[in-house]
Amino acid sequence: MPHDHHDHTGLGHHGHSHAHIDPNAGDARLIWAIVVNMGLTLAQVVGGILSGSLALIADALHNFSDAIALIIAIIARRIARRPATPGMSFGYGRAEVVAALVNYTTLVVLALYLIYEGVLRALAPEPIDGWMVVWIAGIALAVDLVTAALTYSMSKDSMNIRAAFLHNLADALGSVAVILAGTFVILWGYTWVDPLATLLIAGYILWHVATEIGGVIRVLMLGSPPQIDMTGLAGVMEETDGVAGVHHLHVWQMQENQTTLEAHVQIEPGRWFEADAIKARLKHQLGERFGIDHSTLELECANHACRNPRQFGHG
């Protein structure tokens, strides 16, 4: 029979062969990442003001958003570990999904602001100290890579940490763009590369959000997991020995890596005495073939089945 274990950390238990990271060790990594990003933000803002580089200030703002994203992520991780209560009977695991949505939303706002500032600077260029830009951006790149290393392994299993990780990855590439912009100023005096780098950073941020936010929204909207063929799943259930039909079928993700199913199952006429065995076969199929460890099945005898039911959803 399927087990009833629930993973309140939101780090899942399907399709991953590696062991879970100890929650406290993971929190320590995030705290160190927050500290280095906050320190770097301050250095970049000062350097951007002194050098006159908008791209460096843009990179600093994104670095600050990295730190905020990590703070949101660590708070969400702690909330997600709380056990279920009468008022929150499903537990708090979705706090991490909500945190991911908040972080992606702030990335969009940040990118739009950078586009606004980049266009203004392109229309009214200002002198830039190229060497200061290159040195500070180089330090920023090193810190970004350290932060990415701290969160990379955790990001594989959690969309919450993945959102924070993508903040940092985008910032690392942003630092590369700022270094290139400073180099162009040093070698040829091309100050227009600075606002161009700012716009490229903003575009890259928006592209990353577009590729990741859909999965977060899908979980919050109770969508079925994209890797599951719902028609095929219904077919497998109906082909199970003793099953006459399946309807009112719902499959959703309680959190990123915890899939849940509920359905009405009509038992073939004359086989009601096998109902428990049929249910056990169904649960085994769901666990083995689709990784669904938590399912609620309402069994119906042929004489008392729903009339004209929908296969998916109610009505």
Domain containing residue 268: CATH number: 3.30.70.1350
Q: In the chain, at which residue ranges do the beta strands (DSSP E only) sit?
A: 243-255, 258-267, 294-300
Q: Taken in order 74, 213, 199, 144, is the CA torsion positive or negative?
A: positive
The verdict on 125 and 176 lying in the same domain is yes
Range of the domain at 148: 23-220
Q: How distant, in Å, are the alpha carbons of 159, 165, 289 from that of 260?
A: 18, 27, 14
Is 149 among the domain residues? yes
Instruction: Using pLDDT thresholds of 50, 70 and 90, give the confidence band for residue 280.
Output: very high
Question: How much is the pLDDT for 13?
Answer: 31
The verdict on 150 and 274 lying in the same domain is no
> Using CB atoms within 10 A of its CB, is residue 183 exposed (0-12), middle (13-18) or buried (19+)?
middle
Q: How far apart (Å, rounded) are the C-alpha atoms in residues 252 and 92?
A: 16
Stretch among 18-27, 204-213, 221-230, 237-246 having the lowest mean pLDDT? 18-27
Question: How much is the pLDDT for 149?
Answer: 79
The closest of 218, 225, 313 to 262, measured between CA atoms, is: 313
Q: Taking 80 as the threshold, does the pLDDT of residue 124 lie above it?
A: no
Q: Give percent of the chain above pLDDT 70.
A: 90
The residue with greater pLDDT, 47 or 300, is 300
**92 Cβ contact list (under 8 Å, min separation 6):** 8, 79, 80, 81, 82, 84
Instruction: Report residue 296: phi and psi, to 5°.
Output: -120, 115
Q: Taking 60 as the threshold, does the pLDDT of residue 117 lie above it?
A: yes
Question: How much is the pLDDT for 3?
Answer: 39
Question: How much is the pLDDT for 23?
Answer: 55
Q: How distant, in Å, are the alpha carbons of 64, 160, 239 from that of 225?
A: 33, 17, 22
The verdict on 55 and 98 lying in the same domain is yes
The verdict on 204 and 237 lying in the same domain is no
Is 78 among the domain residues? yes
Q: Taking 90 as the threshold, does the pLDDT of residue 103 lie above it?
A: no
The verdict on 160 and 182 lying in the same domain is yes
Q: Quick one: tokens of 287?
A: 């666990």
The verdict on 105 and 27 lying in the same domain is yes
Question: How much is the pLDDT for 25?
Answer: 56
The verdict on 182 and 59 lying in the same domain is yes
Q: Taking 80 as the threshold, does the pLDDT of residue 285 lie above it?
A: yes
Stretch among 48-57, 137-146, 303-312 having the lowest mean pLDDT? 48-57
Number of structural domains found in the chain:
2
The verdict on 69 and 194 lying in the same domain is yes
Q: Taking 80 as the threshold, does the pLDDT of residue 166 lie above it?
A: no
Residue ending a domain, among 188, 220, 252, is 220
The verdict on 180 and 264 lying in the same domain is no
The verdict on 196 and 284 lying in the same domain is no
The dihedral over CA atoms of 81, 85, 89, 92, expressed in degrees to the nearest 10, equals: -20
Residue ending a domain, among 220, 247, 278, is 220
pLDDT average, residue stretch 10-30 = 46
Is 33 among the domain residues? yes
Residue ending a domain, among 220, 247, 277, is 220
**288 Cβ contact list (under 8 Å, min separation 6):** none
The verdict on 152 and 271 lying in the same domain is no
The residue with greater pLDDT, 206 or 35, is 206
pLDDT in tens, 170-215: 777 777 877 888 888 888 877 788 788 888 888 888 988 898 899 8
H-only helix segments in 81-158: 95-123, 130-155
Q: Taking 60 as the threshold, does the pLDDT of residue 10 lie above it?
A: no
The verdict on 179 and 260 lying in the same domain is no
The residue with greater pLDDT, 256 or 25, is 256
Sheet holding 243-255, edge to edge: 243-255, 258-267, 294-300
Is 10 among the domain residues? no
pLDDT average, residue stretch 270-274 = 93
Is 249 among the domain residues? yes
Assessment of whether the complete model's pTM goes beyond 0.85: no
CATH code (residue 197): 1.20.1510.10
Give, as one character, the DSSP assignment of residue 229. -
Is 11 among the domain residues? no
Mean pLDDT score across all residues of the chain:
81
Is 76 among the domain residues? yes
pLDDT average, residue stretch 18-45 = 68
Strand bridging mode 294-300 / 258-267: parallel
Is 245 among the domain residues? yes
